[in-house]
A and B are shown apart, each in its own frame.
Chain A
Amino acid sequence: MAAPTQRRIIFQHIDEPGYSNDLACYVRHGGYDVLKKAVTRPPAELIDEVKKSGLRGRGGAGFPCGVKWGLVDRKSGKPIYLIVNADESEPGTFKDRYIMHQDPHQLIEGTMISCFANNVKQAYIYIRGEMPHGARILEKAIAEARAAGFVGKNILGTTYSCDIFVHRGAGAYICGEETGLIESLEGKRANPRIKPPYFPAVLGLYQCPTIVNNVETLCHVKHIVEFGGDAFTKIGTPNNTGTRIFCVSGHVQRPGYYEFEAGKITMGQLLHEVCGGPLPGRTFKAVIPGGSSAKILRFGERFKGKRKVGAEMVDYDWGVEDVPMDFDSLGMIGTMGGSGGVIVMDDTVNMVEALANINAFYSHESCGQCTPCREGSLWMKKITTRMVHGQARSEDAALLKSVADQIPGRTICAFGEACSWPTQSFIAKFGDEFKHYPETKKTAKPAGAPELV
Chain B
Amino acid sequence: MNLKPTTLTQIDEVITHYPTKRSATLPLLHLIQEDVGYIPEGAIEWIATKLELEPINVYEVVTFYPMFRQKPIGRRHIKVCRTLSCALLGGYKTCEQFEKEFNTHRGEVSPDGEVTVDFVECLASCGTAPVVLIDDDLHEKVDCAKAKQLSAQIKAEAKKR
Q: Chain A: residues with CB nearer than 8 A to chain B?
A: 88-94, 96-97, 128-133, 165, 167-173, 184-190, 206, 247-251, 255-257, 292, 341, 343, 345, 349, 354, 357-358, 360-361, 364-365, 367, 450-453
Q: Are A94 and B67 in contact (CB under 8 A)?
A: no
| Chain A residue at minimum C-beta to C-beta distance from B22 | A187
Bound together, the chains give a CA A360 to CA B90 distance in angstroms of: 17
Q: Are B124 and A354 in contact (CB under 8 A)?
A: no
Bound together, the chains give a CA A145 to CA B70 distance in angstroms of: 37
Q: Are B87 and A452 in contact (CB under 8 A)?
A: yes
Which residues of chain B from 80 to 121 have a CB within 8 Å of any chain A CB?
82-85, 87-90, 92-93, 120-121
B23 at the interface (CB under 8 A from A): yes
Given A129-B30, A251-B88: A171 and B61 interface contact (C-beta under 8 Å): no
B71 at the interface (CB under 8 A from A): no
**Shortest Cβ distance from residue B6 to the other chain A in the assembled complex, whole angstroms:** 15
Could you list some 18 contacts between A and B, CB below 8 A?
A89-B121, A91-B83, A91-B84, A92-B85, A94-B124, A170-B65, A171-B65, A187-B23, A188-B22, A188-B60, A248-B127, A250-B129, A257-B127, A341-B126, A343-B85, A343-B126, A361-B83, A364-B121
Q: Are B25 and A255 in contact (CB under 8 A)?
A: no
**Shortest Cβ distance from residue A163 to the other chain B in the assembled complex, whole angstroms:** 9
**Shortest Cβ distance from residue B25 to the other chain A in the assembled complex, whole angstroms:** 4
Bound together, the chains give a CA A248 to CA B126 distance in angstroms of: 8
B122 at the interface (CB under 8 A from A): yes
B24 at the interface (CB under 8 A from A): yes
Given A91-B85, A250-B89: A256 and B121 interface contact (C-beta under 8 Å): no
**Shortest Cβ distance from residue B45 to the other chain A in the assembled complex, whole angstroms:** 16
Q: Which B residues touch A354, using CB under 8 A?
A: 84, 88
B5 at the interface (CB under 8 A from A): no
Q: Are A189 and B29 in contact (CB under 8 A)?
A: no
Q: Are A187 and B66 in contact (CB under 8 A)?
A: no
Given A130-B67, A451-B93: A94 and B87 interface contact (C-beta under 8 Å): no
**Shortest Cβ distance from residue A417 to the other chain B in the assembled complex, whole angstroms:** 18
Q: Which A residues touch B92, using CB under 8 A?
A: 450-452
Q: Which A residues touch B161, using CB under 8 A?
A: none
Given A89-B122, A169-B26: A357 and B17 interface contact (C-beta under 8 Å): no
Q: Which B residues touch A88, using CB under 8 A?
A: 124
Q: Which B residues touch A257, using CB under 8 A?
A: 127
Q: Are B87 and A450 in contact (CB under 8 A)?
A: yes
Q: Which of A165, A249, A367, A453 contacts B85 (CB 8 A)?
A: A249
Q: Are A349 and B88 in contact (CB under 8 A)?
A: yes
Q: Which A residues touch B51, using CB under 8 A?
A: 187
| Chain B residue at minimum C-beta to C-beta distance from A365 | B121
Q: Are B124 and A93 in contact (CB under 8 A)?
A: yes
Q: Are A247 and B126 in contact (CB under 8 A)?
A: yes
Given A88-B124, A247-B126, A249-B129: A187 and B87 interface contact (C-beta under 8 Å): no
Most B C-beta atoms less than 10 A away, residue of A247, A361, A365, A450: A450
Give the 9 A-B residue pairs with the shortest CB-CB distance, closest first. A170-B65, A187-B25, A249-B126, A249-B85, A171-B67, A171-B66, A187-B22, A170-B67, A91-B122
